[in-house]
Every structure is written in C-alpha cells, then in structure tokens.
Amino acid sequence: MTPERAQKFRVAAIGECMVEISNKAGGASVAFGGDTLNTALYMARLGGDVFYFTVLGDDPYSDEMIAAWQAEGIHTEHVRRKPGSVPGLYAIHTTADGERSFHYWRDSSPVRGMFRGADGKVTAENLKGFDAYYFSGITLSVFDDPQRDKLLDIMKHEREKGATVVFDPNYRTAGWPDIDAARRYFDRAHALATISLPTLDDERKLYPGIAAAEAAARLIELGAGEVVLKTGNNGCLIKTPAQELIVPVPVAVSPVDTTAAGDSFNAAYLHARLQGKDMESAARAAHRLASIVIQHTGAIISRSAMSELCARKEA
C-alpha cells in the first residue's frame, strides 16, 4: 500500500515515558511506554512530524529510550536528561479477556520537575510555536499545581495563536491526591482544547453514571471545540457545538491486550484531522489502527503488524 504524501505539521507531545514490564506466556517482557509517548510513536509511524517533551535520567534505559524514539522518527532534541536519575517503572497485568491493570513505581521520576527552575523555563520556551500540542491527564498528574498551571497557561496561549491543542484526560486515580483535583484540572484542560479525546469509562470514574451524550455535551459547554468520546466496542461519539455523530467500530475483534488502544486511536484521529480529513473519516482511521493494536501484546506493536497503515518517510 503506497501512502499519500502527508503535509507536515509540527506536533509537540508532552508527558512521561517509563520502563514497562508486561506479563507474557513463559515470563515477563521489558519495553518502554507511556500514554503520550505511545501516541507520539504511532503518529510518527503514520508520517507525523512529532517532537517529544519529557525528562529522563542518564541511565542505560534512558539511552535506549531515546535511541528507540529516534529510530521511529520522533524528534528528541527537547528531551532533557537529569544526571543521577532513572525513569519511572510500571507493570501491566493482563487478564485472559485482554483487560489490564497497572502498577506504578514513579515517585522519583525526573519528569516530575519538568517545568521547575532554569531548565523548566527553557522547556517552556521551547514549547512555543508548534502547529499542534498533545497532552493528557497523566501528563498533568505527574506535576505539582504550579507546574500544571504553567503547562495550561502555555496551552492557552498557543491555542489563542491558532495552534491545535489536543487533550486526553486518561484518568488514573493513583496519580491524583483526590478526585476533585483531577476534575478541576481536567475541566481547565478541556476548556482550552481544540480537540478533546476522552473515554467513557474514565468519564464515569469522574462522574459516576454519566451517559455518553451527557459527558460529551458537558465538555462542549466547557469550551472544547471538538469532543471524540471513545466508548469501546460501541465506537465513538463525536460532538461539536454544531453537530453530533456516532462512528461505530467497523469490525469487532477479540482483544489480546487493550494496552494503548486509546493512545493509538488518538494518534490516528489527530493525524487524520491535521491532514484535513473530516471527523468521520478520522474516526474510522482511528478505529482501524486501534483494532490492530489490541490484537497484539504490549503498548507498542511491531511495524510489520501495522505495515499497511505506516506512512513512508519522505526525503
């Protein structure tokens, strides 16, 4: 399959990548993962011009991460290194039906000080001027309040300048001191987002019993320009101030591992929208990639597994 030549939009993805341990038959495997990194990588494979912003240590695992990202075509010049530090660690436990749970060891991760001090000011300055920005609720959760405020201020400024700001709440209770703090910062992020990419399961953790239509409408009322609510096997509900549509999953598949299902969906949706595709076409592309990803173990599947969707790099 020969891909169309893609117009290049510079996308800044902001967040944390950790060492990933996942259970497999016969033992465990070690890889690297993180929600925004997963999305950045899949976007790069689709032909996106993606820059990753994070902080790593000076350890061999951090070296391997950067080498792997560069091999995937992700720009790493804005990845900071903190001497004497190591990245966070998480383990994925997957059940027989493909559902997963997470366990984290990340309290001393160097990304937690990403916007502090002189280095933090440099990072904030380097974040300016991109065509699109992608961050998540997990991104927000690793920072303290002053750093969260700083990141949201940058996003507000860039949206006002015309950039596309994309937010996936991706709520993890362990990352927040209480649910009210998560709700408060998520609402601020949705209010300044051009595109919001929530998941119905996460919205119901934040607002128990909320219906899909109600959840999407609430985010539009906050100020989100375009809400794409992922609802699992039921597809996605897309809502803007002017319209609403449901895009079903084209073909139901039996998942092997649902890790990065949402991250890969986000990558394909955002890439398609930046290329000028309409919302329905973008959602169908997102469903296609996510359906491939969940039929493999781990957050990052092999290039060969998604070869028909990967764009070739143009010279």
pLDDT digits (tens, 9 = 90+) for 55-83: 999 999 999 999 999 999 999 999 999 99
Q: Are strands 49-56 and 27-33 parallel, antiparallel or unpaired?
A: unpaired
pLDDT at residue 107 in the model: 83
Residue type, 305: A
**Nearest to 219, CA basis, from 188, 250, 245:** 188
CB within 8 Å of 67: residues ≥ 6 apart: none
Full-model pTM: 0.91
Q: Which residues of the chain fall below pLDDT 70?
A: 1-7, 23-26, 98-100, 308-315
Which one of 3.40.1190.20, 3.30.70.1560, 1.10.3720.10, 3.30.70.20 gives the CATH number of domain 10-16+34-85+112-290? Answer: 3.40.1190.20
- With a pLDDT cut of 70, the percent of the chain lying above it is 93
pLDDT at residue 26 in the model: 63
**Tally of residues, the chain:** 315
Angstrom distance (rounded) from CA 49 to CA 75: 8
Angstrom distance (rounded) from CA 208 to CA 179: 12
Angstrom distance (rounded) from CA 2 to CA 70: 23
The single residue of 35, 168, 257, 263 carrying the catalytic annotation is: 263
Burial 124-138 (b: 16+ CB within 10 A, else e): beebeebebbbbbbb
Catalytic (active site) residue 263? yes
